[in-house]
Amino acid sequence: MSGLVAQSVEQRIENARVGGSIPSQATTFLSQIQTEVLRSQALGFAFLDRDDPCYRAGMKKLFTLALSSALLAGACAHSPSPLENTALSCPMSLYGETAEDCPWALHARTWQRLSRDQFNAERIAADLPDLTARMKEDAERPAWKLLWGQSLNYDELAQATIVDPTLLDQLFEILQAPPRTDRIVHAGAEHTYGYLFSTLQTPYGYKRARWVKSDIEDGFGLPRGTLGPIPSRGSLLSNLTYFAGRVALQDDSARAKTELSRLKPGIEPALIQYPWKSLKIIRIEERFENHGGDPTEKTAAIITLRTDLVEFPRLDQKKIQAGNTHLLIYSIHDPRFEPAYRLITAFPVNTAFVERVTEGAKKGANEPILVRYNAFVARDVQVASKEAARPSIGTKRVFKRTLR
């Protein structure tokens, strides 16, 4: 019961700075509920706008859980509670964490306990000097900035904020990345370093799993850690940008090639020497007219969404049925930007997923097109709206690619 209530709170109070571990010695239903009351007080409602629909939705959920009477007593004052003095640890099995989630989950939960005055870029540097050093290297070599598009800091399946917005602001400051606009963020910065510190439990696990597990590196025969948080050469962001960009963007324009080449100094040498032509790639291409919020507009940009499914060339045959077998790289062509071709995200998927998405893309013209994987394209639905995005009508095609 305790874990379920905690999870519902974390997923519904979108901007809360969630913190605190839940005592494991609660022996009765009542004590478990009391523990959750203490935890809800530690959520940090002081950082929420009382008019924010996220606040109201969260309060409604807590009412449903019969916790509201205790919550309202201290909802808008981050008052100390016994829970805040509880020692944090990692991994926490209550949250489904494993050793691979550490120390990232521990730091995220520790920082979420701090006030705005206590938490800043200097605190991140003090706690994680090696990671900060690599982010500062990224800031000095900003070619990656132009090779990524925009994403939403919101998971539609979990219906919750992915990364604490205040934490993102501090990461972006270190990276000198473009500042966020409400939920709209730089996709590359969030999907790499931001995801390391996401405490959101999704149906597919934690977002950081793609970077703390070795599936991608093993699948492509890369040195362990190349696409991890602290690689021996390069950084997570620079190495991933080059790898994903070499697959998805290299053949698109001279500008993309130029920006990718600027990343070569300092990145993992195995990426530069990789046999790209040997990769087996399936691309799903979806095109639709974007009306920029006005369906009556006569001139509309043609948006192209591209999903590259790259088969792992070194695949453990035991994992074919259940484990990851491909790397999905999602990119976009939006002529309103320069360069127009930009990365959105990358993550490993299994064979069943590949078969499902490719089959669904074979229908051709006059098909509904959805922007996926938290990508952001200015469209008919406002960013803050809870209404589900209405799909555009466009064309889909599936084809095999060979890199040059």
Q: Say yes or no: 146 and 266 in one domain.
A: yes
Residues 143 and 215 both lie in one domain: yes
**Prior bond to 103 cis, omega within 30?**
yes
Query: Binning pLDDT at 50, 70 and 90, where does residue 259 land?
Result: confident
Distance of CA 388 to the CA centre of its chain: 19
Confidence of residue 353 (pLDDT cuts 50, 70, 90): very high
Same domain, 340 and 233: no
User: Do residue 246 and residue 303 come from a single domain?
Assistant: no
Q: Per-residue DSSP letters for 50-80? A: TT-HHHHHHHHHHHHTT-HHHHHTSTTS---
Q: Please tell me the distance from the alpha carbon of residue 143 to that of residue 356, in angstroms, as a whole number.
A: 35
Residues 250 and 338 occupy one common structural domain: no
Q: What is the mean pLDDT of residues 186-201?
A: 97
Whether the predicted pLDDT of 87 surpasses 70: no
Q: Is the pLDDT of residue 12 over 90?
A: no
Enter the tokens of residue 157: 């399946």
Confidence of residue 390 (pLDDT cuts 50, 70, 90): low
- Bridging pattern class, strands 281-290 and 392-401: antiparallel
Name the pLDDT band for 88 (thresholds 50, 70, 90): confident
Q: Based on the domain organization, do 249 and 376 belong to the same domain? A: no
Could you tell me whether strands 367-369 and 281-290 are parallel, antiparallel, or unpaired per DSSP bridges? unpaired
Is 112 inside any structural domain?
A: no
Region 137-165: mean pLDDT is: 92
pLDDT digits (tens, 9 = 90+) for 23-44: 233 333 333 333 333 343 334 3
In terms of pLDDT, which residue wins out, 195 or 72?
195
Query: Domain check: are 136 and 235 in the same one?
Result: yes
pLDDT of residue 220: 95
Same domain, 217 and 266: yes
Domain presence at residue 226: yes
Q: Average pLDDT, stretch 60-75?
A: 39
In a domain, 106, yes or no: no
Residue 147 contacts residue 249 (beta carbons within 8 Å): yes
Question: Residues with Cβ < 8 Å from 135, sequence gap 6 or more?
Answer: 171, 174, 175, 193, 235, 237
Domain that includes residue 367, residue range: 276-401
The verdict on 81 and 127 lying in the same domain is no
What pLDDT score was predicted for residue 11?
Answer: 35
144, part of any domain: yes
- Angle between helix axes 254-261 and 236-248 (nearest 10 degrees) is 150
Is the pLDDT at 8 greater than 50? The verdict is no
What mean pLDDT, rounded, does the chain reach? 78
- What confidence score (pLDDT) does residue 240 get? 97
Give me the phi and psi of 283, to 5 degrees please. Answer: -115, 135
Q: Which of 272, 299, 332 is the last residue of a domain?
A: 272
Indicate the residue among 220, 253, 272 that finishes a domain: 272
pLDDT of residue 393: 83
What is the tally of structural domains in the chain? 3
pLDDT grade for 142, boundaries at 50, 70 and 90: confident
Mean pLDDT of 102-115: 95
Tell me the pLDDT band of 319, cut-offs 50, 70 and 90.
Answer: low
What pLDDT band is residue 213 in, cutting at 50, 70 and 90? very high
Lowest mean pLDDT among 65-79, 235-249, 254-268, 290-304: 65-79
pTM to 2 decimals? 0.77
Same domain, 253 and 312: no
**Residue 353 and residue 286 in one domain:** yes
pLDDT for 116 equals 87
Residue 252 in domain: yes
